[in-house]
Amino acid sequence: MGIVFEEFEDQLERSVLEEGLRYYIAGRVQRLIELDNGKFRTFLQDTERIIVNLTITDKRVENYSCECPASNGAVCKHLVASLFEVRKDLQDYLVTSETMEAEDDANSLPDEILNDYRIDRILDALNVNELKDFVRRTCTDDRDFRALFLSQFAKVNVPDSSSKPIYANQIKNLIQASTDRHGYMDYREVKEFHSALSEILDIAAMSIKNGNNSQALTIIFSVLEEVTTVIINADDSDGYLIGAIDEAFDLIKEIIESNLDEIQRGDLFNELMIAFETGKLDGWAWHLNLIELAIQLFKKPEEKERLRINIESIHPTGNSWDRNYRKAQEMMYELLLMTESEEAINQYLIENVSNPDFREKLVKRAINSKDYKYALKLLNDAIELDKEESFRRCDKWRKYQLEIYRKTGDVENTIRLARYFILEGSSEEESFKEYYDLLKTTVPGDSWNVYLEKMIAELIAKDHWYNYEKLVHIYVWEKYWDRYLVLLQKNLTLRRIADAEEDLSLLYKDQLIDLYDSEIRVFIEKNVGRSYYIDACRYIMNMKRLGGDDAVRNLIIDLKATYKNRRALREELNKIYDTGY
C-alpha cells in the first residue's frame, strides 16, 4: 500500500478517514498488540469482532489486512481506526522511552535488546495476579494467543506427558487458531500451522533419539489422526501438510528399524492395526501405510491372521485402475513371501493374474524355468486384455515375447516383432538401433535391401512427425546422404538443419546454407521479440561457420531493410555484421 504513516490523514480518502476517526473516538479499538517490530494487530468491536493486521516499515504502512467484507484490499474504516490507535500507542511509548534514555541511554541499544529490556521491566513490575488477569483476558479475546497458550502448557492439565489427549488437543488448538470462521485454512495459515507442527514432530524425533519410543508414537499418531481431518479444507498447494504426514510415517519407520524389545514390537504392531481398524485415516492412501508398516513387525500366527483379515477387507471398486486394491494385493504378496511356500505364492499370483504386476512376475518365473509355452499364453492373453486400455503395457508384453522368440530361435516372430518396434515404437536412437540391428542381422542378407526399402516406404507413407527421426537414423546408418538431404528439404525446421550439419556439411555445404537462408527469413517473418532474434542469429552464425559469408551479409542487409522498425532485431544482427544501415 505504501502509506506514509505520519501523514496518513493527508493521504486517505476523506469519507473513510472520517468514518475511521469516529470508530477510534468511540473506543471501537478494544485492544492493540505489537506482534514484532513494526507488526501490529488490533481488535475492534463492530457488529462482530474484527481483527486488523498491519506492518509499518521505514515509517510506511506496507502491508495490512482486515477481516471485514468491505476491505477486499482497500483501505477501510477499521484500518483507519487502527492507524489512529497505533499512532497514539507509539506516541505514548516515545514519552516512556525518553525517560528510559535519561536513565540508561537505552536509545543506543539495538531494537531486539531494547524490546527485551522493555518486556523484562514490565514483568518485573507486575505481580502474579496482574499477569494472570492479562493472560485470561488475552485468551478470551485472541484465539491465536489462546491456542498458543493451551498448546505450550498442555502438560499442566494432564500429568502424564506422554498422554495422547495432550498432543491431540494441542494440535486441535493449533488447527482452531489457524482456520477461519468457516473452518478453512488458507495458504499463509497452512505454512504457519506447519511450522508449529514441525516443532511437535521435532519433539517426537528427539524422543526417539532418547529411547522414549512411547512418547514419540503418542505424538506421531496424534499428528496422523488430527492433521488428516484438516487437509480437505486447507490450501496445501505447496504440500506442507502432506509433508508433515509423510514425516510422521518416516518416524514410525525409524522406530521399526531401531532395536525394539518384544513388548515394544507388539505394542507398535497393535497401535498400527487399531489405527487401521478404526478407520482414522480412511479416505487417504496413508491408511494402507499402516498395514505396510505392520507387515514389517509381525511375528506371531495371530498377528499374521489379523493382517490377512485387514488386507482382505479392502475390496475392488471395479475401476480399471484401482490403486488401493492393487496396493492391498501387493501387501498380501509380501505377507505370503514371508510366510508361505513357493507353491502357495505362485498359486496366489495365478489367482490374481489380472493384476499386471502379478502377471509380469508369472511371466518372469515361466521364462526363468524355460516354460516358454505358458509364458507366451500369459503374454498373448495380456495383449488381448490391454489392447484397448494401455498400448504401452502391450508393448511391454511384446518385448517379453521377443525375448522368448530370440531364446527359442523363432526367426519369423523375431523379425515380425523387431519390425513392429521399428515402425510403431519409439524413435529414441538407442532403442531404435537395438531393434534395427536385430532386424538387419536376422533378415537373410540377400533379402535385406528389398526388405529395407519396403520398410522405408511404409515409414514415409505413415507421415508421423516422429518418423522423420526414424528415417534420419536409417539414412545415416546406411549412408544414404542424398536421401537425407531430400528428406530434410521436405521437412524443414532450423533445428533439423542444424542437426543435419554433422552428417551433410561435407557433401552439401552450399545446400545447407541456402536452406538456412530461406528458413531464417520465414522464422523472422513469423516471430517477433528479442529472444527469437537471438535464436535466429545463432543459426545465422551456423551459416557463417559453413563458409556462407556472402550469404550472411546479403541476408542481414535484406532483414534490416525489410524490418526497419524492429530495433531489437537490428541490434542483434549488428553483433554479427554491421552493414552500416
Return the half-sphere exposure (C-beta side, CA atoms, 13 A cut-off) of residue 427: 12
| Amino acid 542: pLDDT | 96
pTM of the model: 0.63
pLDDT (average), residues 535-541: 95
The mean predicted confidence, pLDDT, of the chain is: 86
- Taking alpha carbons only, the member of 356, 439, 433 closest to residue 397 is 356
Answer whether 9's CB lies under 8 Å from 66's CB. Answer: no
Higher pLDDT, 35 or 496: 496
Q: What share of the chain is helix, strand, coil (3-state, %, to 5)?
A: 70, 5, 20
- The pLDDT of residue 159 is above 50: no
- The pLDDT of residue 371 is above 50: yes
| Amino acid 339: pLDDT | 87
Higher pLDDT, 80 or 123: 80
- Taking alpha carbons only, the member of 337, 35, 385, 11 closest to residue 192 is 35
First-to-last alpha carbon distance for the chain, in angstroms, is 48
- The pLDDT of residue 407 is above 90: yes
| Amino acid 68: pLDDT | 80
| Amino acid 6: pLDDT | 85
| Amino acid 164: pLDDT | 61
Starting from the edge strand earliest in sequence, which strands make up the sheet with 3-4, in order?
3-4, 60-66, 49-57, 39-45, 29-36
How sure is the predictor about 148, in pLDDT bands with cuts at 50, 70 and 90?
low
Distance CA 570, CA 581 (A): 9
> Which residue has 518486556 as its cell numbers?
119
Answer whether 542's CB lies under 8 Å from 534's CB. Answer: no
Each residue of 375-405: pLDDT tens digit? 999 999 999 998 887 888 999 999 999 999 9
- The pLDDT of residue 456 is above 90: yes
How sure is the predictor about 116, in pLDDT bands with cuts at 50, 70 and 90?
low
| Amino acid 177: pLDDT | 85
481 CA to centre of own chain: 46
Each residue of 246-299: pLDDT tens digit? 999 999 999 999 888 999 999 999 999 999 999 888 878 889 999 999 999 999
- Taking alpha carbons only, the member of 362, 371, 351 closest to residue 397 is 362
| Amino acid 17: pLDDT | 87
Answer whether 16's CB lies under 8 Å from 72's CB. Answer: no
Q: Is the dihedral of CA 70, 74, 77, 81 positive or negative?
A: positive
Each residue of 45-86: pLDDT tens digit? 888 778 888 898 888 888 888 888 676 667 899 999 999 998
Answer whether 64's CB lies under 8 Å from 52's CB. Answer: yes
Percentage of the chain with pLDDT > 70? 89
Q: Residues 6 or more apart from 1 whose CB is under 8 A from it?
A: 61, 62, 63, 64, 75
pLDDT (average), residues 177-200: 88
CA 555 to each of CA 341, 531, 538, 567, 569: distance values in angstroms, whole numbers, following the listed order: 77, 19, 14, 17, 13
| Of 337-341, 364-368, 433-437, the least confident | 337-341
| Amino acid 294: pLDDT | 95
| Amino acid 100: pLDDT | 45
Helix (H/G/I), strand (E/B), else coil: 335: helix
| Amino acid 131: pLDDT | 83
Strand partners, 434: none
| Amino acid 98: pLDDT | 47
pLDDT (average), residues 360-367: 94
| Amino acid 228: pLDDT | 87
Q: Where are the alpha helices (DSSP H) in 299-390?
A: 301-312, 323-339, 342-351, 356-368, 372-386
Distance CA 308, CA 129 (A): 60
| Angle CA 376–380–383, to nearest 5 | 135
Q: Residues 6 or more apart from 138 whose CB is under 8 A from it?
A: 145, 146, 149
| Amino acid 553: pLDDT | 94
| Amino acid 168: pLDDT | 82
As a dihedral over the C-alpha atoms of residue 538, residue 539, residue 544, residue 548, rounded to 10 degrees, the angle is: -160
